[in-house]
Amino acid sequence: MRQSSKISKLTGLRAGFALFSIFALIGISGAAIAADAAPMAPAAEAKAAAPAKPKIDPAVGEALYSNGDASRGVTACITCHGPKGQSAISTWPKLSAQHAAYTAKQLKNFKEGTRANPIMMGMSAALTEQDMQNIAAYLSKQAISQGVAQNKETIELGQSIYRGGIAAKGVPACAACHSPTGAGIPAQYPLLGGQWADYTNAQLLAFREGVRKNSSQMTAIATKLSDQEMKAVADYIAGLH
């Protein structure tokens, strides 16, 4: 009896040890699984926490364009640039249908000051890069606003400069970069066709005078143009489409 009880105690111990070993094994492998999983967890967390690049949102751009944001000091762009970017006043440029990358670049340039304009430097100061891209995306989807050339006397000169440049002065054809229809070539060369002549003329002057310093290409070209040539080509561009 004693003997058998000893044996049963022993087997009981053995069984207990075996059981313990199994738990230990499970424990270790469990820890191993946890260890394996451990490096995953922070990575997954980082993915969720990293400021996922916000998507460009034209609808958000439209709201900011049309209503501004008083809480951040953003004025409604529509006040000057008109509904859908189709400005009705010749000193305020039309923005509709412009290539988004160009528009966003201009807003950045105003904010940085490489394009000096007191009004637009103020307007762009409160805009974030995301705002600029949202507004630019919205404007690029709006229909182009066409115009007409006003001055019959200069239209031929304007057309010849736009299409062929001025060989004697080394002025290249505007069409080479801005395309024959004035639609430009995305993303580098802006749409010009249909723009207000007053505004286009003012930009050519700003490039020449060094007020607008955000394009060495355009500065080089404008430096070679006389006042009369600028006016002629600006008027021609207004009717171009």
Which stretches of the chain bind ligand HEC, using CB under 6 A? 74-75, 77, 79-81, 91-93, 95, 103, 105-107, 115, 117, 119-120, 123, 135, 161, 171-172, 174, 176-178, 188-190, 192, 200, 202-204, 214-215, 217-218, 221, 233
Nearer to ligand HEC, 35 or 104 (CB): 104
Q: Enter the DSSP assignment of 55.
A: P
Supply the minimum distance, in Å, between the C-beta of residue 204 and ligand HEC: 6
Nearer to ligand HEC, 30 or 180 (CB): 180
Which residue type occupies 120?
Answer: M
- Structural contact between residues 135 and 52, judged by C-beta atoms closer than 8 angstroms: no
Supply the minimum distance, in Å, between the C-beta of residue 123 and ligand HEC: 4
- Cα separations (Å) of 173 from 169, 178, 180, 183, 217? 12, 9, 9, 14, 13
Instruction: State phi, psi for 185 to the nearest 5 degrees.
Output: -135, 110
Supply the minimum distance, in Å, between the C-beta of residue 59 and ligand HEC: 15
Contacts of 103 (CB under 8 A, 6+ apart): 95, 132, 135, 136, 139, 140
Nearer to ligand HEC, 21 or 226 (CB): 226
Supply the minimum distance, in Å, between the C-beta of residue 91 and ligand HEC: 6
Q: Residue 119: enclosing H or E segment and its boundaries?
A: helix 118-125
Whose tokens are 């006003």? That residue is: 150
Nearer to ligand HEC, 15 or 89 (CB): 89
